[in-house]
């Protein structure tokens, strides 16, 4: 019940295309859903996050779509660029916990020029 | 930009030895965390720490693990007697608060190799 399932495991997109990564969860106590971006040799860095009181959040080329009834959320990267090539992790937190983030398995995104 | 720093970047040890992984969180942060990532697997929560005590720990964080904030800047993870399966990347993170301000900033990690 604590799991967050992420797909796909890897994704190849052409420059300018849309990258879509999906996550699903079961624990209805989760109430904070961040996405982290990780480049090789670096730690995960927060990219964008959403709370379940909204269905969508957009920051620049990055958008989170959230479907509370389906317990699913997704990251859309518009106009994907080679510099977006990285590993992306979705995560979830129950804010009554002490900061415990539950991560998805990660998606390796490759954007070809 | 402030960052979480971790040392060493790579630690090699023999099975059964003790290791201490070190982290310097962002200076005004009050919450500290350790996560680990076994190669090819997802990032897993180990422990959170606030006000000089453990706030929450996972089932992975057994008696072989301990955390400490020995001074005002360092935050350490000790593994008493390492096992082969402890080989992983260990990430330290810190946050100013939990809840609405809970942006966790991660260090670059320490790769632990147990031989």
CB of B96 less than 8 A from some CB of A: no
Reported as a single tens digit per residue, the pLDDT across B22-52 is 999 999 899 999 999 998 888 999 999 999 9
Predicted local confidence at residue A1, as pLDDT: 61
Residues A59-81 as b or e (16 or more Cβ within 10 Å = b): eeebbbbbeeeebebbbbbeebe
- Judge whether residue A2 has pLDDT over 80: no
Name the percent of chain A lying above pLDDT 70: 99
Do the Cβ atoms of B43 and A44 come closer than 8 Å?
yes
Reported as a single tens digit per residue, the pLDDT across A78-109 is 999 999 999 999 999 987 888 899 999 999 99
Predicted local confidence at residue B99, as pLDDT: 65
Residues A26-58 as b or e (16 or more Cβ within 10 Å = b): eeeebebbbbbbbeeeebbeebbbbeeeeeebe
- Judge whether residue A16 has pLDDT over 70: yes
Predicted local confidence at residue A97, as pLDDT: 82
Reported as a single tens digit per residue, the pLDDT across B48-103 is 999 999 999 999 999 999 999 988 789 999 999 999 999 999 999 999 987 655 78
Short-list A83, A85, A82, A62, CA closest to A74: A62
Predicted local confidence at residue B1, as pLDDT: 74
Average of per-residue pLDDT values in chain A: 94
Interface with chain A: mutation pick from B94, B104, B108, B109, highest number of A CBs within 10 Å: B104
Nearest to A95 among B93, B99, B103 (CB): B99
- Distance (Å, rounded) from C-alpha A50 to C-alpha B20? 35
| Contact at CB, A101 and B104, closer than 8 angstroms | yes
| Contact at CB, A43 and B107, closer than 8 angstroms | yes
Nearest to A42 among B31, B102, B108 (CB): B108
Q: What is the biggest distance separating any 2 CA atoms in chain B, rounded to whole angstroms? A: 42
Q: Which of residues 61-90 of B touch A (CB under 8 A)?
A: none
Predicted local confidence at residue B71, as pLDDT: 86
């Amino acid at each position: 019940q604590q799991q967050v399932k992420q797909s796909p495991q890897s994704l190849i997109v052409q420059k300018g295309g849309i990258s879509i990564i999906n996550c699903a969860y079961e624990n209805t106590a989760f109430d904070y859903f961040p996405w982290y971006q990780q480049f090789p040799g670096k730690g995960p860095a927060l990219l964008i996050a959403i709370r379940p009181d909204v269905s969508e959040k957009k920051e620049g080329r990055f958008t989170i779509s959230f479907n509370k009834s389906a317990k699913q959320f997704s990251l859309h990267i518009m106009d994907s660029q080679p510099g977006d090539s990285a590993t992306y992790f979705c995560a979830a937190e129950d804010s009554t916990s002490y900061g415990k983030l539950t991560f998805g398995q990660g998606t390796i995104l490759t954007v070809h020029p | 930009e402030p960052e979480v720093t971790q040392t060493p970047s790579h630690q090699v040890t023999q099975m059964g030895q003790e290791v201490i992984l070190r982290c310097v969180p962002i200076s005004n942060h009050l919450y500290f965390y350790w996560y680990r990532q076994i190669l090819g697997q997802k990032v897993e929560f180990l422990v959170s720490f606030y006000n000089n005590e453990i706030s929450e720990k996972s089932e992975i964080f057994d008696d072989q693990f301990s955390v400490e904030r020995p001074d005002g800047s360092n935050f350490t993870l000790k593994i008493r007697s390492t096992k082969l399966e402890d080989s992983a990347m260990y990430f330290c993170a810190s946050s100013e608060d939990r809840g609405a301000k809970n942006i966790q900033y991660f260090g670059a990690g320490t790769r632990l190799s147990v031989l």
